[in-house]
Structure 1
Amino acid sequence: MNPITRREFTKKSALAMGFLPFATFGQSLLKPKLDTKGLSVHVFSKHLQFLSPQDAAEKAAEIGFQGLDLTVRPKGHVLPEDVTQTLPRAIEDIKKGGSSCSMITTAITDASNKTDINIIKTAANQGVAYYRSNWFKYRDQHAMEADLAFYQQKIKALSLLNSQHGIVGCYQNHAGHSIGASIWEIKKILESANSKYFGTQYDIRHATVEGGLSWENGLKLIQSSIKTIVLKDFKWGQKNGVWHPVNVPIGEGMVDFKTYFSMLKAYNINVPVSLHLEYDLGGAEKGKTSISIDKKNVYKAMKKDLDTVQRLWEEA
């Protein structure tokens, strides 16, 4: 038999899924024979903001992370207004710590904003490949469709700016009321963008919160736009009689990682990962610069989640 190309395989897989809507990705029929090498996992530096960038890099490397997803935003490791001076120093320190920084998390929203331009230019010059933007909010007294069209143009402008500097922007899906809780909203705002330079940072935790049993449809819809992914877990719990999502360690919640990772493999998606730890870690989960528990407990949690992620990926 003649070998098929990766693109042909993806098309054939998509056709197979269309004809078998009730099949699960655990079945061998849909499980691709792809390289199952481990994921490239970066730790979100928000959870290490009680350390300097160099110390955070040293610890990340020691634990086994590929690098840092560095916070370049208000209250982050690097403040936006100081980015031209402090980001190069931070990345140099990260390298001294034996790690790397190929992705950053920002509050970027506007290609005409001087601070946002400086972040994009400086990050690109320092070899950063991806940034996560801020979220957009629906505006009062505007139709939702009008707002989606408005922000579509914002994303288009950012993608053009990114193309000039060789960096990729990502919009994260996030549960709640901002644009992007629904994957369909992200699909819409990305329609006019240069898809090579702006896509999505797919977050399975938030997709499961908002999508329930339909998150697989959302993943199928957005899969070609995924540039980076976020990993974390949750379960539903009650507080004062009100149900809400409760963050938990990877593998202890409601995220179906077996199906999710199998789908990523079927779509041939193995992109940089940002690992978030948003369960109780003495304030580290909230990006506190001073935490109430022994730092060793934070590092232990990071190692446990990282090991679990890699095991679940290999098993999928």
Structure 2
Amino acid sequence: MPTKESRRRFLQKLIATSGALACFPSNGFADESQRPNPDEWPIAIFEKVFEGLNYNELAKAVSETGADGIEATIRPSGHIEPEVAADEVPKMSEALKKRGCRIVIAATAVRSVDEPHSESLLKVLKEAGVTHYRMGHYRLDLDKPMLPQLRNYTAQARDLAAMNQEIGIQGLYQNHSGASRKRGHLGALGWDAAMMLEGISPEALGIAMDTRHLRKDTGSSWWVALAACKDHIRSIYVKDGIWKGPRGDQYEDVPLDMGFVNEEVFSTIRSGLPPMPLCIHMEWMGYRIFSKPEIPSAVKAHQRDIRTLRKWMDFPEA
């Protein structure tokens, strides 16, 4: 765990980052003459809804959405199982390339260097030209002390970051909401993810900052959570939601810019960050695999959210 001195450095960095946020206007860039280059900020879509399609069908659907590519589910029970990745990832990649798309991020279950397929899968991804992968989540047992669990996951993260550097691939840890009486996600509050990643190069292992999960789990303290995580962010996952019901304690996914994730929130997250992949998670029509008759509606839903994101990024219309 951090020493008193390292905690002091962490807080100093937090304060400095908080101050830096105020220096950027709401559009996310300090100089109005500067505009983000779309080629440096690729827009991917999480392919969960399209997992029932073959690679050619997937590529056609993705190209119709206007996305640059996908976050491919290369994990147990995903579109590609890890043990067949060496054969299947090149096939998926080739089909996407024919439609002018690519695998921007791979969603994996990799959590440590010691798990089966971890090293071999990351090497397959690197060979196929995939530059970023999302890790599996670390889960906390809420009936046990938190700090020993954080120490354990910090050690795993450091080893994984070292392997990422050796292979030459960018690892991403997603902040994720959701907890029960017994289990929770490390990183849901932002601070814990920042503590875990302190001292780890963000170019080896960084944070995929999820806009909806950030707002859902930290509420009005999202500014604080963002400031803690800011230096570690290497991808932004874009989605939206609302609180509803008589007590305001029921949750619902909604289209982008219809809930508590608006342009100001997104631009505040993005301000001051280097170019990185953006990924839309269209879950407001359901977090599931869509049947083929539903694919046209899923394409239109992605088109809708991509238009919103492109507007926020000040990208020209596709």
Normalising TM by the smaller chain, what interval?
Answer: 0.7 to 0.9
Q: What is the match of residue 147 of structure 1? A: 149
- What SS class does the counterpart of residue 214 from structure 1 fall into? helix
The alpha-carbon deviation at position 97 of structure 1 amounts to 3.4
Per-residue CA distance 1:212-262 (angstroms, 9 max, x = gap): 1121222222121111110000001239x7823200000111113224314
- What SS class does the counterpart of residue 73 from structure 2 fall into? strand
The alpha-carbon deviation at position 64 of structure 1 amounts to 1.3
Q: What is the match of residue 245 of structure 2? A: 238
The alpha-carbon deviation at position 263 of structure 1 amounts to 4.6
For 1:305 and 1:20, how far apart are their aligned partners in 2? 25
Q: What is the match of residue 287 of structure 1? A: 288
Alignment of 1:149-168 (within 5 A): 149-168=151-170
For 1:303 and 1:91, how far apart are their aligned partners in 2? 22
Letter in 2 for 1:299: V
The alpha-carbon deviation at position 89 of structure 1 amounts to 2.0
Q: What is the match of residue 260 of structure 2? A: 254
Distance of aligned partners of 1:277 and 1:194 in 2 relative to their CA distance in 1, 3 Å threshold: same
Equivalent pairs counted in the alignment come to 293
For 2:111 and 2:99, how far apart are their aligned partners in 1? 31
Alignment of 1:1-316 (within 5 A): 18=19, 25-26=25-26, 31-33=30-32, 34-38=34-38, 39-139=41-141, 142-176=144-178, 177-238=184-245, 243-265=249-271, 267-280=272-285, 285-288=286-289, 290=291, 294-314=294-314
Per-residue CA distance 1:88-140 (angstroms, 9 max, x = gap): 22222222333111311011111012312221111111111000001111146
Distance of aligned partners of 1:229 and 1:79 in 2 relative to their CA distance in 1, 3 Å threshold: same
- What SS class does the counterpart of residue 207 from structure 2 fall into? strand
Identity %: 24
For 2:288 and 2:17, how far apart are their aligned partners in 1? 44
For 1:125 and 1:155, how far apart are their aligned partners in 2? 23
Distance of aligned partners of 1:140 and 1:219 in 2 relative to their CA distance in 1, 3 Å threshold: closer
For 1:216 and 1:173, how far apart are their aligned partners in 2? 14
The alpha-carbon deviation at position 141 of structure 1 amounts to 5.7
- What SS class does the counterpart of residue 174 from structure 1 fall into? coil
Letter in 2 for 1:224: D
Distance of aligned partners of 1:116 and 1:289 in 2 relative to their CA distance in 1, 3 Å threshold: farther
Q: Is the 8 A contact 1:208 1:215 kept in 2?
A: yes
For 1:150 and 1:159, how far apart are their aligned partners in 2? 14
Distance of aligned partners of 1:288 and 1:258 in 2 relative to their CA distance in 1, 3 Å threshold: same
Q: What is the match of residue 5 of structure 1? A: none
For 2:57 and 2:295, how far apart are their aligned partners in 1? 12
Q: Is the 8 A contact 1:264 1:270 kept in 2?
A: no
Per-residue CA distance 1:168-217 (angstroms, 9 max, x = gap): 11000011221111101101111243432111100011000111112122
Letter in 2 for 1:286: Y
For 1:16 and 1:96, how far apart are their aligned partners in 2? 42
- What SS class does the counterpart of residue 229 from structure 1 fall into? strand
- What SS class does the counterpart of residue 171 from structure 2 fall into? strand
- What SS class does the counterpart of residue 73 from structure 1 fall into? coil
What stretches of structure 1 of length at least 5 have no aligned partner?
A: 1-13
The alpha-carbon deviation at position 42 of structure 1 amounts to 0.6
Q: Is the 8 A contact 1:152 1:193 kept in 2?
A: no
Distance of aligned partners of 1:44 and 1:244 in 2 relative to their CA distance in 1, 3 Å threshold: same
Large movers: runs of 4+ above 6 Å? none
Letter in 2 for 1:128: V
TM-score normalised by L of structure 1: 0.84
The alpha-carbon deviation at position 59 of structure 1 amounts to 2.0
Q: Is the 8 A contact 2:256 2:262 kept in 1?
A: no
For 1:20 and 1:67, how far apart are their aligned partners in 2? 30
